[in-house]
Amino acid sequence: MEGFDEDWFVGVSVSKGALFLPLQKLLTNYLLTVGFVLFLTTIAVFKLSKYIVSPVERLVAATSDFATGKAVTPLNEKTYQEIDRLNQTFTAMTKKLAQRERGHKKSTLIIETTDNGVIAVNKKTMKITTFNRTCEKLFHLPRYEVVNRTVNEVMQKSDNFKQFVLSSRVLEFVGEEKNKKFELQCSFHQNIYHFFISISSLPSIESEEIHDEMLIVINDLTEKRQMERELVRSEKLKVVGQMAAGLAHEIRNPLAIIRGFIQLFGKEEEVKKNHYDLIIKEIDRVNYFITDLLNLSNPKSSEELKKTKINSLLEDMLILQKSQLKMKGIDIEKEFEELPTVLIDPGKLQQVFINIIQNAVEAIEEDGVVTIKTKHLALENKIAISILDTGCGMNTTTIEKLGTPFYSTKQTGTGLGLATSFRIIEEMNGTIVVSSEEGRGSKFVITLSY
């Protein structure tokens, strides 16, 4: 055999384990070193990635919190340069946006809490973009039924809104950029409203040059006008009072003398008695008129205050009016609620009811309905009495003049009925609110505290 062709051989015997031991040691050391290095590298990579990724994750979380409207705490901690800059930019941006948000909320709050009605309309689409709380109350329209709808759509939905748009002629101002200011009168559900309207063009958010919205601001002057009317009325009453006092003195004394003599003549000359009676009746009429005048301007203080059951008072009065109502074919409808007693002079209140019902009867030409309702306004400690008729109604001039002494549209009217009634209710610290629509009827609501 090749290589073994000599006669002598040296044999070396080494165990397999001893032979591979150094090799195994080497391999173990190698594996340990590699493992250690791998372990160290993994830790380093983990630490490094945490260092890089964590701030980014925090920023992402803060961004999504901000986007969903949650509160964001400023990202102040120090990281590496790029993220630091990103954090600073983010914090500055959130601050600015929060500031802008606060400004926006404040403007919205102002629009929502102002007593003025605010409506904004897009001139191109004619869609309503703003309709504040005052408008909701004024037009009895919830905002969700108005915003993003066109003016025409809302007009079909609400009679009040339609009335307002038509009488203010706001649609004619769509093409104009000049501001318009004017006063307006509208009748919503038989109630007359006085408005001061201001119409202006609103610049668009994108550019000051483009005026794509129309802004309508409605200032409700109804209460102010009512107060002014009240003032004028009480001024007039004062004058009437002075005049009445003079008249009473000058007319009553001679009347009393004439009356006395005629009574005397009547006794003596039986034939002419009828004529004398007539003269006395007329003199008495003049006297009653003067009493009315005096009561109107200077009512006697109520000495007859009694705990009064208003429903019974109304029932009693209706018994007295029954025949008159029947003759004209007028139906009476009653809706009485249980009421607490009210401390008033019942005679005077009855006079008010009679005056108002008399007017209702006179307003109905033939066949109609007079509805009398009483209501307990427990929350306000008040009671309300409404008298509604289906008569001729009143125009705005008449409504405005109601309660003015001597104002009458009737040929034989003295125009003192309502003036006296207003005065009596005023004396009782109550209120009378009148609403009416020509051709449809009128409503008188008396409110009294108990």
Ligand X SMILES: Nc1ncnc2c1ncn2[C@@H]1O[C@H](COP(=O)(O)OP(=O)(O)OP(=O)(O)O)[C@@H](O)[C@H]1O
Interface with Mg ion (CB under 5 A): 359, 417
Query: From Mg ion, ligand X, none, which one binds at residue 360 (CB under 5 to 8 Å depending on kind)?
Result: ligand X
Beta-bridge mates of residue 332: 370
410 binds ligand X (CB under 6 A): yes
414 binds ligand X (CB under 6 A): yes
Minimum Å gap between C-beta 342 and Mg ion is 24
CA atoms of 258 and 246, how far apart (whole Å): 19
Dihedral sign, Cα of residue 186, residue 191, residue 196, residue 198? negative
CA atoms of 21 and 18, how far apart (whole Å): 5
Number of other CB atoms surrounding residue 164 within 10 Å: 25
Instruction: Locate the DSSP E strands across 406-440.
Output: 431-437
Structure tokens at 104: 């926006």
Contacting ligand X (CB under 6 A), which of 185, 408, 431, 449?
408
Stretch touching ligand X by CB under 6 A, among 6-14, 107-115, 167-175, 412-420:
412-420
Query: From Mg ion, ligand X, none, which one binds at residue 135 (CB under 5 to 8 Å depending on kind)?
Result: none
CA atoms of 429 and 407, how far apart (whole Å): 23
Q: Is the distance from CB of 244 to CB of 150 less than 8 angstroms?
A: no
Stretch touching ligand X by CB under 6 A, among 10-18, 99-107, 160-168, 387-395:
387-395
Q: With residue 18 as reference, give the H or E element that holds it.
A: helix 16-67
Structure tokens at 91: 């914090």
Per-residue contact flags (x/-) with ligand X for residues 298 to 337, judged by CB under 6 A: ----------------------------------------
244 binds ligand X (CB under 6 A): no
Stretch touching ligand X by CB under 6 A, among 137-145, 238-246, 280-288, 390-398:
390-398
Q: What Cα–Cα distance (Å) separates residue 442 from each residue in 145, 189, 329, 395?
A: 31, 11, 18, 10
Q: CB-wise, 216 or 360, nearer to ligand X? A: 360
Q: CB-wise, 403 or 417, nearer to Mg ion? A: 417
Beta-bridge mates of residue 431: 447
Structure tokens at 367: 């066949």
Stretch touching ligand X by CB under 6 A, among 121-129, 279-287, 323-331, 393-401:
393-401
* Residues with Cβ within 8 Å of residue 289, at least 6 apart in sequence: 414, 416
Query: From Mg ion, ligand X, none, which one binds at residue 170 (CB under 5 to 8 Å depending on kind)?
Result: none
Stretch touching ligand X by CB under 6 A, among 120-128, 176-184, 198-206, 394-402:
394-402
417 binds ligand X (CB under 6 A): yes
Q: Is the distance from CB of 244 to CB of 290 less than 8 angstroms?
A: yes
Query: From ligand X, Mg ion, none, which one binds at residue 389 (CB under 5 to 8 Å depending on kind)?
Result: ligand X
- Closest Cα partner for 322 from 370, 388, 384? 370
Query: From Mg ion, ligand X, none, which one binds at residue 363 (CB under 5 to 8 Å depending on kind)?
Result: ligand X
352 binds ligand X (CB under 6 A): no
Minimum Å gap between C-beta 422 and ligand X is 9
Structure tokens at 240: 């009437």
Q: Which amino acid is at 291?
A: T
Stretch touching ligand X by CB under 6 A, among 73-81, 131-139, 142-150, 358-366:
358-366
Structure tokens at 143: 């905002």
Contacting ligand X (CB under 6 A), which of 94, 297, 355, 447?
355
Contacting ligand X (CB under 6 A), which of 155, 392, 428, 448?
392
List interacting residues with ligand X (CB under 6 A).
355, 359-360, 363, 389, 391-394, 398, 402, 407-410, 413-419, 442
